[in-house]
Structure 1
Amino acid sequence: MKKSALLNAKLSHCIASLGHFDEVTICDAGLPIPIQVERIDLALTHGVPGFLETVKVVLSEMHITGVIVAEEMKLVSPKLHEALLAIIKTYQAVEVTYVSHDAFKAKTFNSKAIVRTGECTPYANVIFQSGVVF
């Protein structure tokens, strides 16, 4: 059994398979997921698992070079937005890029995988761009 925090086999394999600038999306329960992108569905029920706890576990295993978030998150879910930024800063100092929600949804087509949580807070979505550790 793995010793680190991430136990989900599909998600662990996805992160281990990432190359530089590959993208992984973590989303709420309602974000549409393109059929051609791998879906890693963690959603169990409303709020389980939560968006932020999923972000923490992913960032404990993944080196990132960039973050993409919908602009709407700042306005509609400001507490979640601030908590997300605080978590990201805990792991790495990277630039956050803001796009419209429509542009965000279009960008998910480029993700290697989309991780669906049980989060029901509006705009609880983030795209992490993979970095390299050397």
Structure 2
Amino acid sequence: MLKKIPSILSPELLKILMEMGHGDEIVISDGNFPAASMAQRLVRLDGHGVPEVLEAVLELMPLDVYTDEPVGLMEVVKGDTYVPEIWDTYKAIIKEKEGDKKICYEERFAFYERAKKAYAVVATGETSLYANIILKKGVVV
């Protein structure tokens, strides 16, 4: 064991976060996301929700300051009346850890294409809809 590393971060996920370079992206997905078919590298954290994983990842990984929108969310599909309240939780976590950051909202299939190019996908057991989030890694100083 190590000190100061959130216990939710598995050794496999820590290795991936260490391997990632500036500009690489990581997806933290909800339980409905097709993670296995999208991922170049897949980490399963099925017993956890996205907010707790997001908070732990941002303890160790800074967001990119050289891009306008270092965070991406899958926008609600047209015609769907669901309101993703979890987004407010994400915004609060990001503000606490990284300050105010702009968020990009991407159409579902555009989000999937971006996810396929991500360095890794973390599959959680999150049950909220539209709870997928992409983070662009920044420079560690």
Q: Same fold (TM over 0.5)?
A: yes
User: Separation in 1 of the partners of 2:89 and 2:45?
Assistant: 21
In structure 2, which of residues 74, 80, 85 is the aligned counterpart of residue 79 of structure 1?
85
Offset, 1:36: 5.4
| Aligned partners of 2:39 and 2:120 also within 8 Å | no
In structure 1, which of residues 27, 30, 46 is the aligned counterpart of residue 29 of structure 2?
27
| Aligned partners of 1:63 and 1:132 also within 8 Å | yes
User: Separation in 1 of the partners of 2:73 and 2:11?
Assistant: 26
Q: Deviations over 1:38-80 (max 9, x none)?
A: 110111xxxx31111111111111111210111219x624320
Offset, 1:103: 1.0
Give the total of aligned pairs.
129
- SS for the counterpart of 2:139 is coil
> What is the aligned partner in structure 2 of residue 2 from structure 1?
2
Matched, 1:97 2:104: yes
Matched, 1:115 2:122: yes
CA change 1:83–1:36 in 2 (3 A) is closer
User: RMSD of the TM alignment (CA)?
Assistant: 1.7
User: Separation in 2 of the partners of 1:14 and 1:49?
Assistant: 18
- SS for the counterpart of 2:112 is helix
Offset, 1:24: 0.3
Matched, 1:56 2:74: no
| Letter of the structure 1 residue corresponding to residue 114 of structure 2 | K
Q: Percent identity?
A: 30
Offset, 1:106: 1.3
In structure 2, which of residues 39, 42, 51 is the aligned counterpart of residue 39 of structure 1?
42
In structure 2, which of residues 97, 114, 132 is the aligned counterpart of residue 125 of structure 1?
132
> What is the aligned partner in structure 1 of residue 73 from structure 2?
69
| Letter of the structure 2 residue corresponding to residue 120 of structure 1 | T
Any gaps of 5 or more consecutive residues in structure 2?
65-69
- SS for the counterpart of 2:20 is coil
**Relative to structure 2, which stretch is displaced further, 75-84 or 54-63?**
75-84
Any gaps of 5 or more consecutive residues in structure 1?
none
